Structure 1
Amino acid sequence: MIKRTSYLQKIHPFIGLDLVKVLTGIRRSGKSVMFSLIMDELREQGIPQEHIISLNFENFENNHLCTAEKLHTYVSDMIVDSKDKYYLFFDEIQEVERWEKCVNSLRVKYDCDIYITGSNAKLLSGELATYLAGRYVEITIYPFSFAEFCDLYLERNPQASTPEIFNQYIRFGGMPFLTNLNFLPDPSKQYLQDVFNSVVLKDVVSRNNIRDTALLDKIITYVMANIGRTFSATGISKYFKNENQIVSPETILNYLQACEDAFLLFSFHRQDLIGKKILTVNDKYYMADHGIREAVYGKNERDINQVLENIVAIELLRRGWKVTIGKIDSLEIDFVCEKQEMKQYIQVAYLLASQETIDREFGSLEKIPDNYPKYVISMDEFDMSRNGITHMNLRNFLLQSE
């Protein structure tokens, strides 16, 4: 089991504090493993096992606890001495009816340190914000980064080179369980297809009462084909109209939002870098894991430009950047990244194989009228930096410390 150090570092400052630690992310991204890592650390610190209460609500054995009242009673019975600190770990808490009332009551009644996971962004909306206002911290868990993928792959293939490993990463993506399948093509593809189906069925269809699953499938397929390209719900609606199917933009937006709530997709808004405003049309969408795209849609090698952009997009989110798409005049900046007082601009390309490509990628950045760091990232091995704009090899970028 790999220690996901970057996430542990984010969680460490909050351990023991009266803040509910909420781990969110797509199913099978490693949230349960994070629980195991945290519990291991607690035991190493001398916390007795009987003070660690862990429940996974996807386990049918815990089905009888899936209401706020029954869960509250169960945990209260487990807390023998209310003066001692207890550590509560609730996995896939959204399966519990009115769970937020239970969690808030336990937090108020006992000296307990609470950790929960969920596979839907709506976990943190509505009543939770009311009951736990200012009393929770959210950490999104993403599939393996390329750096994590490298560590695991090298354990089994110590002679593999970085370029070889990256080719495998493009093909398989970063869903953690694949290491148990030794990255065998057919079992890995089957597993990723099953993950996709599980996310769509449990976290998109069921939670949003979607009846037209055929339409949902078409919309997801459209997004997969157009990863990293700007489009609008109206544009998708026109596309379907040309296919003799009438679908309103509002319905498309609702379906896309449901996929975002399930952490299957992430949308990036566009920002006018001159007018300093967020544009409300033509977002870009990226997938949480490009390996799922390969398993379900295919064509990752053919669409290498889009896939590399997807990899960088998720890596930037993983590193905690707030990301938008930049627009300056008629030109586009792939990623405008902001974090606290920091800011950077990034262009992503497969290869800077022609002067036209070089001028396009660097030229967009050269038009930005500020002095924040600017990067062009590509698969090229040699440094092509110019005019204060740094060129980086994409693999090196993914392997650098955050």
Structure 2
Amino acid sequence: MIERKKYMSLLEKWRDKKVIKVVTGVRRCGKSSLLRMFREKLSDNGVEERQILEFNFEDLSNEPFLDYHVLYSHIRKNLCGDRMNYIFFDEIQMVENFQKVVDSLFLLDNVDLYVTGSNAYLLSGEIATLLTGRYVEIKLFPFSFAEYIEALPDGTPHDTAYRHFSEKGGFPYTVQIANDDEMLREYLTGLYNTIVLKDVVARRKITDVMMLESIVRFLADNIGNLSVIKRISDAMTSQGRKVSVHTVENYISALSDSYIFYPVYRYDAKGKQLLKTGQKYYLVDTGLRNIINGTKGGDLGHILENIVFLELARRGGEIYVGKVDNAEIDFIVIKGEAREYYQISLSVRDENTMQRELAPLQAIQDYYPKYLLTLDNDPVVLHNGIKQMYVIDWLLQN
């Protein structure tokens, strides 16, 4: 089992601190395994078994605890009065009024809370207001490329690993079945259907599942393209399936809430303001794209862009699509007062392509880091302060 060092270090950092640790992410990205490894580390560090209470609400044996009164009463009866108690709730959004349990337990000095959820409902609306200032969110994703490499046999060439990673994705279990294409497809298909049916259709009570799936296919086919909601509505209507802009907005919101797609909004790099129109959407895992739209080949540039987006999301900061005059910067990452700029290209060995990719970065007059990431396996090159890097080397940086 791969120890996900970054996430483990965050859990260790926040251990025994008076905040609720909320681990969020799409289904099967490794939330339960992460907390299991953390519980093992607690035991290795002298925490006794009686100090740890865990509940996986997808486990039928825990069905009685879906009643929040029963859950709270059970926990209070089993707390160690003289020790710190570590309580783990897996997929707690399945418990109606779960926030009442979490809020009440938070008031106790000898309780350290860890919560997971695979839907943004966990931290939405009134619940977020209730928990404001009381929680830290740890956003979990499928394996990064560095973690994926760690799971492969020693000596696997990095370019081969990247090709497999981009095609098959980084959900942890897929590494174990990567050599069986049929089994891999069945697993990812089942995972996709579970996300759509359980986390999107059931929670949002969506009745037109076929329309939802059409919108999913459109977004998956257009990762890295500016997706105006009206354009999606018009595309569906042109196919003889009339759908309102409002419905499209609701369906995309539901997909984002289930962490299957991530919206990235536009930012005027010169005016330093968020733009209200147009955004891009990226998939949580490129392996799912082959399940949604089939293995069509091509479009490797947008797949690379999607992989870079996910890595930037893992590394933290606010991510935007940059606008500079009439040109575009693939990503602007804002961290406090600092920022970073990224252009992504499969290759820039053609001089015209090189100049086209450099031009938007050259138009930015500040001194923050600027990167041109490509699949050209070349040494690092500096273009008047713009750092051109082999993207695989960049992905493997800590």
> 1:27 Cα deviation (Å)?
0.2
The answer to whether the aligner puts 1:385 opposite 2:385 as a matched pair is no
Aligned to 1:225: 221
Alignment check: 8 A CA contact 1:170 1:300 kept:
no
> 1:37 Cα deviation (Å)?
1.5
The one-letter code sitting in structure 2 at the alignment partner of 1:3 is E
- The 1:137–1:5 alpha-carbon spacing in structure 2 relative to 1, beyond 3 Å, is same
1:3-402 matches, within 5 Å, as: 3-79=3-79, 81-109=80-108, 111-154=110-153, 158-299=154-295, 301-383=297-379, 384-401=381-398
Aligned to 2:2: 2
Rounded Cα–Cα distance in structure 2 between residues aligned with 1:107 and 1:374: 43
> 1:130 Cα deviation (Å)?
3.5
Report Cα offsets for 1:108-159 as digits up to 9, x if no partner. 24611010100011211123223323111111100000000000012xxx23
Alignment check: 8 A CA contact 2:168 2:178 kept:
no
The one-letter code sitting in structure 2 at the alignment partner of 1:169 is F
> 1:167 Cα deviation (Å)?
1.1
Q: Does the residue aligned with 1:26 lie in a helix, a strand or coil? A: coil
> 1:250 Cα deviation (Å)?
1.3
Q: Which runs of 5+ in 1 are unaligned?
A: none
Rounded Cα–Cα distance in structure 2 between residues aligned with 1:301 and 1:149: 22
Rounded Cα–Cα distance in structure 2 between residues aligned with 1:40 and 1:300: 43
- The 1:299–1:386 alpha-carbon spacing in structure 2 relative to 1, beyond 3 Å, is farther
Rounded Cα–Cα distance in structure 2 between residues aligned with 1:319 and 1:339: 10
Stretches of 4+ moved more than 6 A in 1?
A: none
- The 1:182–1:305 alpha-carbon spacing in structure 2 relative to 1, beyond 3 Å, is closer
Aligned identity (percent) is 36
- The 1:169–1:300 alpha-carbon spacing in structure 2 relative to 1, beyond 3 Å, is farther
Range with greater deviation from structure 2 (376-385 or 326-335): 376-385
Alignment check: 8 A CA contact 1:100 1:127 kept:
no
Rounded Cα–Cα distance in structure 1 between residues aligned with 2:177 and 2:202: 29
Rounded Cα–Cα distance in structure 2 between residues aligned with 1:281 and 1:249: 14
The one-letter code sitting in structure 2 at the alignment partner of 1:285 is Y
Range with greater deviation from structure 2 (134-143 or 338-347): 338-347
Alignment check: 8 A CA contact 2:320 2:331 kept:
yes
> 1:182 Cα deviation (Å)?
4.4
Alignment check: 8 A CA contact 2:220 2:292 kept:
no
The one-letter code sitting in structure 1 at the alignment partner of 2:37 is L
Rounded Cα–Cα distance in structure 2 between residues aligned with 1:236 and 1:115: 39
> 1:242 Cα deviation (Å)?
1.6
Q: Does the residue aligned with 1:385 lie in a helix, a strand or coil? A: strand
Q: Does the residue aligned with 2:176 lie in a helix, a strand or coil? A: helix
Q: Which runs of 5+ in 2 are unaligned?
A: none
Range with greater deviation from structure 2 (191-200 or 291-300): 291-300
Report Cα offsets for 1:170-191 as digits up to 9, x if no partner. 1111000112324421111111
> 1:385 Cα deviation (Å)?
3.2
Report Cα offsets for 1:261-282 as digits up to 9, x if no partner. 0000000000111222111111
- Give the aligned length: 397
RMSD, matched Cα: 1.3
The one-letter code sitting in structure 2 at the alignment partner of 1:394 is V
Range with greater deviation from structure 2 (298-307 or 326-335): 298-307
TM-score, with length taken from structure 1: 0.96
Alignment check: 8 A CA contact 2:24 2:116 kept:
yes
- The 1:184–1:385 alpha-carbon spacing in structure 2 relative to 1, beyond 3 Å, is farther
Rounded Cα–Cα distance in structure 1 between residues aligned with 2:389 and 2:197: 40
Rounded Cα–Cα distance in structure 2 between residues aligned with 1:305 and 1:370: 27
Rounded Cα–Cα distance in structure 1 between residues aligned with 2:370 and 2:179: 36
Rounded Cα–Cα distance in structure 2 between residues aligned with 1:129 and 1:82: 29
Q: Does the residue aligned with 1:200 lie in a helix, a strand or coil? A: helix
- The 1:368–1:217 alpha-carbon spacing in structure 2 relative to 1, beyond 3 Å, is same
> 1:300 Cα deviation (Å)?
6.5
Alignment check: 8 A CA contact 2:93 2:121 kept:
no
Rounded Cα–Cα distance in structure 2 between residues aligned with 1:323 and 1:9: 23
The one-letter code sitting in structure 2 at the alignment partner of 1:390 is K
